[in-house]
């Protein structure tokens, strides 16, 4: 199978009979590893720990003690449930907006009906899945054998924290964490047609070419429509609240509070007005106009030759085959400007009135008032200032109502036009578009559950490190995924899913809040384009955070994925198939990692950077990684080691994934652990293989296999192992046929 030719087959097994020096025992109590006060919080998310203790000799013949720990997380189920609830909310709201589009001509009305039927079915399906998941109270683990189950498809496979706590002589104790999880992928939908990376691209191409039936809006424009709709939905109630507060201040006749309320109202109204500045709203209004029963065609649509031609960005939007672009005399484009501008005008009237009321009030209280330049007004009686104490509420109320009316009108029109944009996207891709959204949601949910778990653990273990905290809010955290999937057969589709799922994590930001109760589970808000995960910390830890973090600054993550297939399927791909997917993923993600490093160097304080550079040659490591990616060598596992090392040095969150995270992943994390012991903790070189075999034979990972497939054997056969890179082969007796 290739690797034999390289003379590497002699280490399929390693004799560990004389492993007297590697003492192993299991223990029940997990190690917090980061201070006792964190324990209740971590224990609330980590469950069913398995611990193993080892002793290995160091190069100077002393002993190092290792505690290996593996825990499940209730986030495996909690995050999918949170996310599905948000999807349901978002989709119900969108369906409502489609219903409220108003009267449409028969062509568009039929489309809408069709879209709504499908969308309602999807919402029902999400609701059913949520109901099923809600029955799984207290669950924290989905086994590899359940990966194809429909009701569990949002739940990550075999998610665990794999932790190594090293206590070695002369050195500080050290913790090394890796989150191990099955590659986020849509197993229930299957991989016959590939995964998200290919499917999304193909879908977009096809959608562009259905130009005559529907209006083509680019993915950016569709995303923009969703963003503006979401902004409107958030801003409108906020403005209503500030308007009420302003009236409240007016009835209390309190100038300071009136000024403050006005400030808030103005800010929000300006944001509101700004939200509609987009050309998309303008073009969508025109498109919707043509789709109304009255928007009768005047001239036939000009045929479009290319997909690009159908983009509505600059030109008036193209319309359906039976409809046409309206003549300008049909449509009063300036009407929208008038409606839109009226919001600003109404706000200005309120500002003027508040200024007047406060000025008059000051003047009457000052007994005679003062002129604008501050000089005392000498005139004895001014009919205005002499006015008795005014009823501010009465003066402002009609103006506020006028503002609300104008806004209502703007919101109504904008919402309808943007919902019409969404209708195009949905109608053009029925039903594949909705299935793709489901697939993306499924994959994203699995990826997000892992990320939130990794983030919370990282936060708790690094809270006492000021450098980490600074990095967290100035640069964000790198999240590095090691993929071991092969670019062959179904795993191509899995890798295509995984690549999109991980890249979608860029849409997630974290916010740390103070825990007010015993409920420490994270809360998610947002919608498909942008999510915020609120992570709770107990008061004492929260108070020690840097001010920007305490004040709710959003904390960003920078996910990167490097994949190297290692099994017999990859041998086939290397020899007879196509490895371009893996090559492009590695190349693209290298660029992302390089960008992250550049921002890190730019934003971290100079004294931190100079110390950092003394300790680490990150530039050299990055160059080395780049060369290895460029080298296009088969099964180049050096790529994974370098990427993982860079991630650890950058304080990042480490992930390792294969299809099920039990066999190949176990080989990889145990190898990583022993390599760290050798490179960072002076593990005696004669004991490297013995330590590795010992961990694989007796450690947490064989327990992982057991809990997944009820059998203490890695699911490899001899032939498969011959194809594995040398150090990824488990010891004799630990592998064999297992019903996976």
Query: Are 642 and 625 spatial neighbours (Cβ–Cβ below 8 Å)?
Result: yes
Q: 217 or 716: whose CB is closer to ligand LIAWHYBZ?
A: 716
Q: Taking the complex as a whole, how short is the minimal distance between the CB of residue 52 and ligand LIAWHYBZ, in angstroms? A: 20
Catalytic status, residue 397: no
Q: Is 531 in the site for ligand LIAWHYBZ (CB under 6 A)?
A: no
Binding residue for ligand LIAWHYBZ, selected from 662, 678, 684, 690, defined by CB under 6 A: 662
Query: Are 12 and 718 spatial neighbours (Cβ–Cβ below 8 Å)?
Result: yes
Q: N- to C-terminal Cα distance for the chain?
A: 23
Contacts of residue 626, Cβ cutoff 8 Å, sequence gap at least 6: 590, 594
Q: 75 or 485: whose CB is closer to ligand LIAWHYBZ?
A: 485
Residue for token digits 């294969």? 658
Q: Is 658 in the site for ligand LIAWHYBZ (CB under 6 A)?
A: yes
Question: Of the ranges 390-398, 399-407, 608-616, 715-723, which one interacts with ligand LIAWHYBZ (CB under 6 A)?
Answer: 715-723
Query: What does the alpha-carbon distance between residue 362 and residue 366 come to, in Å, rounded to a whole number?
Result: 6
**DSSP string covering 35-74:** -GGGHHHHHHHEEEEEEEEEEEEBTTS-EEEEEEEEEEET
Q: 141 or 716: whose CB is closer to ligand LIAWHYBZ?
A: 716
Binding residue for ligand LIAWHYBZ, selected from 441, 482, 663, 698, defined by CB under 6 A: 663
Binding residue for ligand LIAWHYBZ, selected from 659, 684, 701, 729, defined by CB under 6 A: 659
Task: Show contacts with ligand LIAWHYBZ in window 193-212 (CB under 6 A).
Answer: none
**DSSP string covering 455-485:** HHHHHHHHTT-HHHHHHHHHT-EEEEEEE--
Q: Is 186 in the site for ligand LIAWHYBZ (CB under 6 A)?
A: no
- How big, in percent rounded to 5, are the helix, strand and coil portions of the chain? 55, 10, 30
Q: Taking the complex as a whole, how short is the minimal distance between the CB of residue 183 and ligand LIAWHYBZ, in angstroms? A: 8
Query: What does the alpha-carbon distance between residue 143 and residue 721 come to, in Å, rounded to a whole number?
Result: 23
**Which SS3 state, helix, strand or coil, does residue 725 take?**
coil
> Which letter, b or e, does each residue of 673-687 get, where b requires 16 or more Cβ atoms within 10 Å of its Cβ?
bbbbbbeebbbbeeb
Q: Taking the complex as a whole, how short is the minimal distance between the CB of residue 718 and ligand LIAWHYBZ, in angstroms? A: 12
The residue among 123, 73, 119, 124 whose CA lies nearest residue 99 is 119
Q: 288 or 661: whose CB is closer to ligand LIAWHYBZ?
A: 661
Query: Are 217 and 424 spatial neighbours (Cβ–Cβ below 8 Å)?
Result: yes
Q: Is 740 in the site for ligand LIAWHYBZ (CB under 6 A)?
A: yes
Q: Is 716 in the site for ligand LIAWHYBZ (CB under 6 A)?
A: yes
Query: Are 353 and 266 spatial neighbours (Cβ–Cβ below 8 Å)?
Result: no
Q: Which of 647, 658, 694, 700 is catalytic?
A: 658
Binding residue for ligand LIAWHYBZ, selected from 445, 503, 571, 660, defined by CB under 6 A: 660
- Taking CA atoms, 93 is separated from 86, 97, 115, 121, 231, in Å, by 11, 6, 14, 15, 13
Q: Is 146 in the site for ligand LIAWHYBZ (CB under 6 A)?
A: no
Query: What does the alpha-carbon distance between residue 325 and residue 283 come to, in Å, rounded to a whole number?
Result: 11
Q: 40 or 733: whose CB is closer to ligand LIAWHYBZ?
A: 733
Q: 455 or 724: whose CB is closer to ligand LIAWHYBZ?
A: 724
Contacts of residue 80, Cβ cutoff 8 Å, sequence gap at least 6: 133, 154, 155, 445, 446, 449
Q: Taking the complex as a whole, how short is the minimal distance between the CB of residue 672 and ligand LIAWHYBZ, in angstroms? A: 15
Binding residue for ligand LIAWHYBZ, selected from 67, 163, 207, 664, defined by CB under 6 A: 664
Q: Taking the complex as a whole, how short is the minimal distance between the CB of residue 483 and ligand LIAWHYBZ, in angstroms? A: 11
Q: Taking the complex as a whole, how short is the minimal distance between the CB of residue 664 and ligand LIAWHYBZ, in angstroms? A: 4
Question: Of the ranges 273-281, 292-300, 663-671, 684-692, which one interacts with ligand LIAWHYBZ (CB under 6 A)?
Answer: 663-671
Q: Which residues are catalytic?
A: 658
Residues making contact with ligand LIAWHYBZ (CB under 6 A): 144, 567, 658-665, 715-716, 720, 740
């Amino acid at each position: 199978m290739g690797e034999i030719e390289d003379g590497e087959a002699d280490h399929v097994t390693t004799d560990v009979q004389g492993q007297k020096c590697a003492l192993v025992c299991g223990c029940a109590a997990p190690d917090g590893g980061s201070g006792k006060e964190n324990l209740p919080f971590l224990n609330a998310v980590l469950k069913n720990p398995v611990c193993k203790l080892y002793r290995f000799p160091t190069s100077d013949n002393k002993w190092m003690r290792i505690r290996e720990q593996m825990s499940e997380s209730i986030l495996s189920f909690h995050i999918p449930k949170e996310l599905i609830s948000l999807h349901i909310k978002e989709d119900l709201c969108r369906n409502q907006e489609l219903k409220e589009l108003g009267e449409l001509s028969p062509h568009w009305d039929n489309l809408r009906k069709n879209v709504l039927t499908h969308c309602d079915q999807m919402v029902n399906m999400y609701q059913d899945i949520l109901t099923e998941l809600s029955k799984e109270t207290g669950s924290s683990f989905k086994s590899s054998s359940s990966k194809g189950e429909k009701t569990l498809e949002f739940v990550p496979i075999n998610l665990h924290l794999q932790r190594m706590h090293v206590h070695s002589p002369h050195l500080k104790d050290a913790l090394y964490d890796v989150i191990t999880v099955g590659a986020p992928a849509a197993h229930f939908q299957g991989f016959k047609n590939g995964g998200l990376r290919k499917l999304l691209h193909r879908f977009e191409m096809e959608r562009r070419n259905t130009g005559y039936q529907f209006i083509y809006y680019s993915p950016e424009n569709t995303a923009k429509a969703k963003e503006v709709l979401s902004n409107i939905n958030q801003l409108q109630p906020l403005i209503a609240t500030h308007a009420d507060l302003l009236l409240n201040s007016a009835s209390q006749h309190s100038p300071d509070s009136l000024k403050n309320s006005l400030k808030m109202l103005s800010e929000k109204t300006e944001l509101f007005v700004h939200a509609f500045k987009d050309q998309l709203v303008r073009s969508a209004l025109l498109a919707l106009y043509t789709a109304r029963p009255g928007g009768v065609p005047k001239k036939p649509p000009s045929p479009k030759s290319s997909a690009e031609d159908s983009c509505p960005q600059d030109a008036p939007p193209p319309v359906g085959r039976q409809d046409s672009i309206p003549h300008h005399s049909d449509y009063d484009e300036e009407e929208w400007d008038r409606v839109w501008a009226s919001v600003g005008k109404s706000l200005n009237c309120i500002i003027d009135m508040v200024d007047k009321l406060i000025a008059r009030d000051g003047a009457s209280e000052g007994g005679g008032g003062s002129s604008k330049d501050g000089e005392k007004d000498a005139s004895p009686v001014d009919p205005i200032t002499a006015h008795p104490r005014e009823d501010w509420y009465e003066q402002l109320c009609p103006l506020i109502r006028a503002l609300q009316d104008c806004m209502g009108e703007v919101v109504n029109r904008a919402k309808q036009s943007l919902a019409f944009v969404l209708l195009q996207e949905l109608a053009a891709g029925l039903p594949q578009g909705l299935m793709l959204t489901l697939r993306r949601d499924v994959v994203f949910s699995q990826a997000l559950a892992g990320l939130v778990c990794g983030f919370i653990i990282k936060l708790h273990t690094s809270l006492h490190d000021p450098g980490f905290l600074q990095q967290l809010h100035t640069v964000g955290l790198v999240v590095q995924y090691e993929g071991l999937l092969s670019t062959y057969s179904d795993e191509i589709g899995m890798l295509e899913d995984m690549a999109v799922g991980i890249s979608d994590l860029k849409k997630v930001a974290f916010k740390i809040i103070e825990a007010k109760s015993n409920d420490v589970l994270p809360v998610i808000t947002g919608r498909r384009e942008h999510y915020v995960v609120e992570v709770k910390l107990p008061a004492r830890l929260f108070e020690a955070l840097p001010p920007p973090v305490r004040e709710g600054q959003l904390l960003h993550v920078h996910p990167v994925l490097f994949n190297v297939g290692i099994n017999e399927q990859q041998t086939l791909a290397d020899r007879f198939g196509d490895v371009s997917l893996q090559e492009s993923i590695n190349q693209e993600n290298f660029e992302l990692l390089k960008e992250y490093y550049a921002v890190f160097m730019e934003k971290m304080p100079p004294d931190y950077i100079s110390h950092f550079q003394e300790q680490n040659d990150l530039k050299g490591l990055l160059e080395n990684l780049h060369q290895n990616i460029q080298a296009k060598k088969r099964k180049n596992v050096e790529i994974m080691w370098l990427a993982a090392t860079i991630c650890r040095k950058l304080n990042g969150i480490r992930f390792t994934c294969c299809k099920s995270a039990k066999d190949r992943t176990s080989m990889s994390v145990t190898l990583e652990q022993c390599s760290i012991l050798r490179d960072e903790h002076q593990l005696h070189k004669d004991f490297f293989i013995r330590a590795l075999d010992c961990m694989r034979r007796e450690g947490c990972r064989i327990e992982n296999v057991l809990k997944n497939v009820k059998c203490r054997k890695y699911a490899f056969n001899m032939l498969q192992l011959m194809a594995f890179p040398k150090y990824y082969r488990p010891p004799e007796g630990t592998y064999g046929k297992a019903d996976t």
